[in-house]
Amino acid sequence: MQIEERLEKGLQQLGLVLSADTQQKLINYLQLMLKWNKAYNLTAIRELDSMVIRHVLDSLSILPYIKSAPVLDVGTGAGLPGIPLALCMPDYQFVLLDSNGKKTRFLTQCKIDLKLENIDIIHSRVEDYKPGYGFEIITCRAFAALNTILDRTQHLLTSTTRVMAMKGKDELPVLTDGFEQLAQHQLQVPWLDEDRQLIEIRRLN
């Protein structure tokens, strides 16, 4: 299957309608990742078809649950899920944070090449990041154990912040005191035969 067809059919299965321009930018993003991967080791996946499934479609499976902004993508790595979401939600502001300088340099290049006006790239450890405002949504895909994420992002949470953690079924611990689970969404990622969950959490006041 051609990569363009794989993406288009996957988006249909997710119930997402994207312009041809946005779809092309998603493919351009993966091609950039593939190019930089040779020197920067951004991802273990090195084949475009698998990247469409495991990076783009997996990231976009949470798009229906992103309903407010600004959004902070913690431990974004190569920009997942932040860049696919930002490409599809141009009216939402995203901050992509990672402590790895090579990865934030790659993200800066993505911002330029893809003309992404709605993302800011931050090179920092999350516990050291103090922007002076809170976030409506904090996403994390492969950053750390759930309670570690909650502990390290506490200073960024407001009464309305929702932490959206993408996890497998075997990664769902009992939440630490002071937090509650609002929802658990079963994610259906096309062609991905793995259990994927989106856990929605808030801090108790």
- The strand pair at 196-203 and 162-167 is best described as antiparallel
pLDDT, tens only, 58-74: 999 999 999 999 999 99
Give yes or no for a contact between 178 and 196, defined as CB atoms under 8 angstroms apart. no
Cβ neighbours around 122 below 10 Å, total: 18
In the predicted model, what is the mean pLDDT of residues 150-175? 87
- CB-based burial label for 121 (10 Å; 0-12, 13-18, 19+): buried
Q: How many residues are there in the chain?
A: 205
Query: How many structural domains are present in the chain?
Result: 1
Question: Taking the complete model, does pTM exceed 0.75, yes or no?
Answer: yes
**Distance from C-alpha of 118 to C-alpha of 6, rounded to nearest angstrom:** 26
Q: Tell me the residue range of the domain where 89 lies.
A: 3-203
pLDDT tops 90 at residue 146: no
**Distance from C-alpha of 166 to C-alpha of 190, rounded to nearest angstrom:** 16
Give the whole-number percent of the chain exceeding pLDDT 90.
80
The CATH number given to whatever domain includes residue 21 is 3.40.50.150
